Structure 1
Amino acid sequence: MKYQPIDRNLFSKNRKNFMAQMKPSSLAVFNSNDIYPISADSTMPFEQHRDIFYLSGVDQEESILVLFPDCPKEKHREILFLKETNEHIAVWEGEKLTKEAALASSGIKTVYWLKDLEKIMFEIMTQSDTVYINTNEHYRANVETETREDRFTKWLTAKYPAHSVAKSNPILQRLRSVKDKTEINLIQRACNITEKGFRRILGFVKPGVMEYEIEAEFIHEFLRSRSKGFAYTPIVASGNNANVLHYIENNQECQAGDLILMDVGAEYANYKSDMSRTIPVSGRFTPRQKEVYNAVNRVKNEATKMLVPGTDWAEYHVEVGKLMTSELIGLKLIDKTDVKNEDPDWPAYKKYFMHGTSHHMGLDTHDYGILTEPMQANMVFTVEPGIYIPAEGFGIRLEDDVVIQESGEPFNLMRNIPIEADEIEELMN
C-alpha cells in the first residue's frame, strides 16, 4: 500500500463497537471484494470492501473476517481467514499478508489460511444460533454484479439453513457514519492532498489547455503524495459541460472567457475527499460570472452553519432551498411569481439547482449514514450547492467537506483550499 500504517487500535475499537450490538450467541462474517476481470488476463485495480477494512484494516483480496463475541473458545471470538502466501506468490504478485503481518495491522490474534475455512466455520456455527450477513443497503446502491459477499452468503445460508439470519448493515450504517478521531485525520490527509492538486492547477490553467490535461495535473500530485488516485471519477467540465452534472469525458479544450467546474477529490488509505471548485480559464471572472459565483458561495457558507447535532437531513435541504431561492431571485433567474406558483415537489429553484446539498463522506464518497436519523457530532458531510445556467454557458458548484462539532459551526477540512473569487483570481495571476 502507498499509505503509511494506520494505528490498529482503530480497527480493534471498531470491532468492539460492532460486537457490542450483536445478538447473543451470534456471529458475523465479512468478505473482501473480488478482483474483477476485464478481458483476457486483464483485471480492474483491486478495491477493498469498505466494511472488512473498517473492522480489520486488511487491504487485500480473498480475506474473510468472522466475529463471534460469545464463542466458548476465546481464540475464536475474532478470526481472520487469509489467502495462504508463499515464495512463489511473493515473486509473481508481490508479498501478501503473513499471519504475523495480519496481527500487526489488525490486532487479530487468530489467523487461519482459507483452506481451513469450512472446518472452522462448521465448529463455530454449531456453537451459534444467529449469523449476521453483510448486504449492501446504501440508499444509492444499484448493484447488478454478484459480489464475493453475495456468493458467500448463498453458500452459508444453504449449508446452515436452521440458523437465524440478521443484517450487519444497520449496525454498520450507524457506526461508520460517526467518525473516530483517527478517521477524521485520514480524511483530512486526503483533503490536504486534494489541496496540493488544486493549487497545482491554478498555475497551470490557461486558454487552450484540454480538460484531460487538468485531470493529469491532479493525478500527478495525488500519486506523489501517497494517494492511489482519485476518490471517484473526476469531473473537469469547461463551459457548458458544467451543466451536465456527471460529465466525465474531460476531452474538450478550455476556451478563453469560460469557467471550469472541477469536482475532484483524492483518496488516502481508502478514505475519501470530495471537492468542487469553479475557476475562470482566463484567470478573471466576468462580472456576471462573479455575481453567480458569490451567490453560490454565500449559500454554501450559510448551509454549512446548519450542520449541527440534531439537524434533520430532509429539513436541512428545505432550508437550503430557501437560501437558494433568495439568491436566484437576486440574480433575476427566477421571480416571486415563479415561487408563488411552484410545485412543492419540485420548487422553482430546482430549475437551476437540481441536486442535493450534502451527503455523508468517509470510506465511501457517498458514505454510510441513515438519513432519517438526526445528525451527530463527528459525522463528516459535504456542502455543495451549485447554480447551472445553460442559457449563459456556464455552471458553478462549490464544495467543501466538514465535520459536525459537538457545539458551534462545523470544522471545515478544506479550510485551506482557496475558494473566494478574489483569491482564485490572485493566485491565477
Structure 2
Amino acid sequence: MKSYAARRAALMAQMQAKGGGIAIIPTAPEVMRNRDADYPYRHDSYFYYLSGFTEPEAVIVLVAGKTNQAILFCREKNLEREIWDGYRYGPEAARESFGFDVAHPVAALDTEMPRLMADAPALFYALGSDSKLDAQVQNWLQAVRMQSRAGVAAPSVVHDVHVLLNEMRLIKDADEIAIMKRAAAISAEAHRRAMQISRPGLREYHLEAELLHEFRRNGSQYPAYGSIVATGANACVLHYRASDAEIHDGDLVLIDAGCELDSYASDITRTFPANGKFTGPQQELYEIVLASQAAAVAETRPGKRFMDGHDAAVKVLAQGMLDTGLLDKNKVGSLDDVIEKGAFRQFYMHRTGHWLGMDVHDVGEYREIGATGSEKPWRQLQSGMVLTIEPGIYVRPEAGVPEKYWNIGIRIEDDAVVTENGCELITQDAPKTVAEIESVMKR
C-alpha cells in the first residue's frame, strides 16, 4: 500500500510543478466476449500502478492544490451481485485498504467531478484514451463553465497524464523487479517443460498447453501475451500464434511465451530442435544468433544508449549472413555495406528489444525527452530499466539463398534488468546454449 501511495504522491508533486490541477485515471472497462460472457477482466496498468486495486468500474482522481488529495471512485457494496460475481470492497473498505484520502461510489462521479474541477488550473488526463470518459469529461467541463457568472473557472489547460506516468513506470523499484524475477523464473521453467515434452508427432497446441499448465501451476494469473509456438516454416512468421501444425522430425520449434504475475510481464523466446538434436545448418545459424545476443548484452548497461545493443547484434548477424552465404558478398558488398544499406533486413527485420514491465511492450520513450532536431538521440539506459534482448534470423525459401537454411526461424530472447554496472538476465534458467538444450531434451 505504501508504494502505491508514494507513487500517487510523486505524481501529484509533478502536477504541482506544472501549476497544479486535477488528474483523472480510469481503470479498464469490462469487455463482452459473446452473449452473457465477458473476456477475463484485466485492470488498466496505469490505474493499477497508482492503486493496486483490481476491480472494474473505478476511477482515481488526484487533486494537486493547496492540499493534495487522492480520491477513489469505485463500485458500492452489493451483496446480491457478490453472490454472482465475487467480493466487492465498496468505497469505505477500499479507502482504508488502499490508502486513499477519500472514496466515493462510482455513480457519484457526475456529482463530484464538477465540484472538484471548479477553479482547477489544469486537467491531467489522457484525452482520447476512453471515448466514454471523454464524453463525461466534456459534460463536467460544461457544468463548470456554466458557473462562470458566479466567478468559477474551468480548467484551461490539459496535460497528458500518461506522459508523466510513463517516465515513472520506466524505472522499476525493488518490489517491481522482485515480481518480474519471479515471473521470469516461472516462464523459464515453462520453456524447459516444453523442451522436455517436445517430440515429432505432437502439435503446436500440445506445447502451448504445457506452457499454460506451468504458468498457472506456479501462481501466474495469465499469459502476458498470446503464446507463439511455431514449428518449421511457421517460425519465420514473427507474430505467429500457436495453432494445430504438426511438429515434424528435423523441425526447429520456436516458442515465444511468458507469464504475467501480479500485473507484471515476462517475455522469453527459445528455439530448439523438435527431436532434441540440432542439424548442422540449424546449429550454424543458432550459434550466430546466440553470439549476437551476447554482443547486445555486453552493450546493455548504464550510459549506453537503447540502440547500442541492437547495433552490436546487427553487426554479428550481418557478418554471419555473409559467412554462411545467406548474403552473397559479390552482390551486397562488405559488412559495412550490408549494415549501411540494410541488406541484413532480408533475414532480420525487427529491433533487438523493447521495454518490459506491466505491459509486455511497456511504456516509456525510446529517444531522449526534450532533445531537439530532426533525429533525437536514443535514450541512455539507467539502472532500474527492464528490457528484452531478442535477436533472430528468419530464412524463407528464396532464389540465391542456400537451400539447407530454408524455413529455419531462430529467435533467442531474454529479459534484462539494467543494474549499476551492467545488466542481469533474469530469464537465464531457460536453457539456451546448444549443449544445454540438447542435454535437457535428452533427459
CA apart distance, 1:319: 3.5
CA apart distance, 1:248: 0.8
Per the alignment, residue 133 of structure 1 pairs with 125
1:238 equivalent to 2:231? Answer yes
Decide whether the 8 Å contact of 1:197 with 1:217 is kept in 2: yes
CA distance in structure 2 between the partners assigned to 1:251 and 1:152 by the alignment: 45
Decide whether the 8 Å contact of 1:32 with 1:149 is kept in 2: no
CA apart distance, 1:19: 1.5
1:124 to 116, 123, 128: 116
1:357 equivalent to 2:352? Answer yes
CA distance in structure 2 between the partners assigned to 1:147 and 1:234 by the alignment: 30
Q: Taking structure 2 as the reference length, what is the TM-score of the superposition? A: 0.87
Per the alignment, residue 279 of structure 1 pairs with 272
CA apart distance, 1:56: 0.7
Per the alignment, residue 109 of structure 1 pairs with 101
CA apart distance, 1:150: 4.1
CA distance in structure 2 between the partners assigned to 1:149 and 1:190 by the alignment: 33
Per the alignment, residue 32 of structure 1 pairs with 27
CA distance in structure 1 between the partners assigned to 2:326 and 2:381 by the alignment: 32
Q: 1:158 to 1:289 in 2, by over 3 A?
A: farther
Higher CA-based Rg: 2
Decide whether the 8 Å contact of 2:114 with 2:141 is kept in 1: no
1:377 equivalent to 2:383? Answer yes
CA apart distance, 1:271: 0.5
Decide whether the 8 Å contact of 2:296 with 2:308 is kept in 1: no
CA distance in structure 2 between the partners assigned to 1:235 and 1:39 by the alignment: 25
1:74-102 deviations in whole A, cap 9, x for unaligned? Answer: 6xx10001011221111011101234542
- Which residue identity lines up with residue 396 of structure 1 in the other structure? I
CA apart distance, 1:104: 5.3
1:401 match: secondary structure: strand
Per the alignment, residue 57 of structure 1 pairs with 52
Decide whether the 8 Å contact of 2:90 with 2:105 is kept in 1: no
CA distance in structure 2 between the partners assigned to 1:155 and 1:258 by the alignment: 59
- Which residue identity lines up with residue 176 of structure 1 in the other structure? R
CA apart distance, 1:13: 2.0
Q: Which has the higher mean CA deviation after the structures are superposed, 163-172 or 37-46?
A: 37-46
1:402 to 416, 430, 435: 416
Per the alignment, residue 415 of structure 1 pairs with 428
Q: 1:99 to 1:309 in 2, by over 3 A?
A: same
CA distance in structure 2 between the partners assigned to 1:148 and 1:424 by the alignment: 50
- Structure 1 stretches lacking a partner, 5+ long: 1-7, 137-142
Q: Taking structure 1 as the reference length, what is the TM-score of the superposition? A: 0.90
2:219 to 203, 226, 232: 226
CA apart distance, 1:113: 1.1
- Structure 2 stretches lacking a partner, 5+ long: 146-153, 369-379, 398-405
Alignment of 1:316-335 (within 5 A): 316-335=309-328
1:67 match: secondary structure: strand
1:149-179 deviations in whole A, cap 9, x for unaligned? Answer: 5444444445456312111121112111111
Decide whether the 8 Å contact of 1:277 with 1:399 is kept in 2: yes
CA distance in structure 2 between the partners assigned to 1:346 and 1:63 by the alignment: 51
2:169 to 165, 176, 182: 176
CA apart distance, 1:12: 1.6
CA apart distance, 1:134: 2.0
Per the alignment, residue 13 of structure 2 pairs with 20
Decide whether the 8 Å contact of 1:359 with 1:366 is kept in 2: yes
- Equivalenced residue count is 410
CA distance in structure 1 between the partners assigned to 2:133 and 2:383 by the alignment: 31
Q: 1:359 to 1:153 in 2, by over 3 A?
A: farther
2:359 match: secondary structure: coil
Per the alignment, residue 140 of structure 1 pairs with none
- Which residue identity lines up with residue 318 of structure 1 in the other structure? D
1:21 match: secondary structure: helix
Identical pairs, percent: 32
- Which residue identity lines up with residue 69 of structure 1 in the other structure? A
Per the alignment, residue 45 of structure 1 pairs with 40
Q: Which has the higher mean CA deviation after the structures are superposed, 218-227 or 324-333?
A: 324-333
Per the alignment, residue 192 of structure 1 pairs with 185
CA distance in structure 1 between the partners assigned to 2:101 and 2:274 by the alignment: 55
2:395 to 389, 393, 396: 389
- Which residue identity lines up with residue 262 of structure 2 in the other structure? A
1:83 equivalent to 2:96? Answer no
Q: 1:271 to 1:153 in 2, by over 3 A?
A: farther
Alignment of 1:340-355 (within 5 A): 340=334, 347-355=342-350
CA apart distance, 1:33: 0.8
2:256 to 263, 271, 274: 263
Q: 1:301 to 1:220 in 2, by over 3 A?
A: same
CA-based RMSD of the aligned residues comes to 2.1
Q: 1:150 to 1:325 in 2, by over 3 A?
A: farther
CA distance in structure 1 between the partners assigned to 2:36 and 2:180 by the alignment: 34
